Amino acid sequence: MTMQGGVEDSEQFASLTPRRVVEELDKYIVGQDEAKKAVAIALRNRWRRQNVDPELRDEILPNNIIMIGPTGVGKTEIARRLSRLAGAPFVKVEASKFTEVGYVGRDVESMIRDLVDISVNLVRGEREDECREVAADRVEERLLDLLLPPLADGERGPGPTGAARDQDGPRTFVVGSSGAPQLEPVEGEGSLEGRRRRTREKLRDLLKEGKLEDREVEVEVTESSVPALDVGAMGMDGMDINLGEMLQDMLPKRTRRRLVSVAEARRILLSEETDKLIDMDEVVDEAVARAENMGIVFLDELDKVAGSRSDQGPDVSREGVQRDLLPIVEGSTVQTRYGMVGTEHILFIAAGAFHVSRPSDLIPELQGRFPIRVELHSLGEEEFVRILLEPKNALLTQYSALVATEGAELEFTEDGIREIARIAAEVNQSLENIGARRLHTVLTTLLEEVMFDLPDGEGPRRFRIDGARVRERLARIVEDDDLRRYIL
């Protein structure tokens, strides 16, 4: 999705109806329909806002969402997939990072600066894709100039043909049997420039076929005369000023010549040509607009700063973090290296297990800024079976692809899949419930021997994982409490 002047491309964004958004999320996340509907509506409201009367547009604020549910049920994945679907900048932060002892944790405003940095990288990446073909064509011409340098004026002899003559007669560059340009005598009349042009085209063909990748050429590279520094200016942390970048912009650049392969030269020249084609001022303007109007901040572990107001009174440290978060969520202006950025229309999606505390334990002002609350349900055996099979990036699909790289085949039977799901659900109930992440630990333990012996080529090249094999491999671990606790 692209934005022009901070306004979304309506035709492309209009196709993202709530129903279609939920369908796209269903490809990666099993269940949690209530949460999917909530984020789909929030995303659609962003398109609706851009199409209302301009006088009313700035008054329409996003409905921030709190996702309530245990770990491993898909809270982060829903928000991340939503941002990818919309082409929106996305940043995930943990609220607990702002609760270090003595409050020396990260500055709360740093989440917005991170969001803008991600937005700039996102827009720049899109611009690079758009100009990739033009940059590649320019790089090809520059590589040909390096392989076959242009003739100096003194090398062009007099006469109607313009051929350079010496004691041995006319001479020009031709491509030898090794593919290298060589200077060989050529008999007969003819334009040196014409012969050189034919040689250049032969080199172009060899370049496209990849036969000159190891040939060495000399390129001029720009080096910074300032060592890399990543230190903020004293007392100006909020300004996000980087001394290293300032000095690099102020001091002159230093160049030197390097002898590199054609493959390395292509990478260096492609970066240079791409920089020339991209207008960074335009990129920054669009990135800031996209961060302000389309940015998504996922605020994880919000329950960690929601202290209950019991006998001992409110937790000052936790309340302090909430009050620092309040102006950002409420809508304020944050100074970044790319200028001032408003947070009024950034969508905040908070998440937490809320086992000990509740959303009502948040300070009232912050509660009011998260009007939408959805509960994500714990996952059981049936959900685990679907997670193993249905998503586009299902774990079984991933393992099968990994095994296929070694020339082997991995097959899971229906009863094997159900046994994996049953064991994962059982371990979650008896130990800490970590949701779908338990499938990773179970599969890793189950396939440990297969993945270890695979490169050696010993034994069968087709592995069939059925219920009996799953039980045989995992029975001892599941039955032994100590082993289960530390391995699964």
Place of tokens 């991340």: 80
Both structure tokens of 189: 């009349």
Cβ-contact 247, 229 below 8 angstroms: yes
Residue 438 or residue 170, greater confidence: 438
Label residue 114 by pLDDT band (50, 70, 90): very high
Please give the Cα distance from 254 to 222 (Å, whole number): 6
206 pLDDT higher than 80 = yes
Q: What is the pLDDT of residue 173?
A: 43
Cβ-contact 260, 217 below 8 angstroms: yes
Mean pLDDT of 45-61: 87
Q: What is the pLDDT of residue 86?
A: 85
Both structure tokens of 187: 């008999």
Label residue 193 by pLDDT band (50, 70, 90): confident
Please give the Cα distance from 319 to 306 (Å, whole number): 8
Label residue 185 by pLDDT band (50, 70, 90): very low
* Domains annotated on the chain, with CATH: 3-129+284-375 (3.40.50.300), 144-265 (no CATH), 381-479 (1.10.8.60)
- Tally of residues, the chain: 488
CA dist 427 to 69, 355, 386, 394, 471, Å? Answer: 18, 19, 18, 20, 14
Q: What is the pLDDT of residue 186?
A: 44
188 pLDDT higher than 90 = no
**Residues 356-407 pLDDT 10s:** 888 888 888 888 899 999 999 888 899 999 999 989 889 999 999 999 988 8
Both structure tokens of 447: 């396939």
Mean pLDDT of 441-461: 83
Helix, strand, coil percentages for the chain (3-state, nearest 5): 50, 15, 35
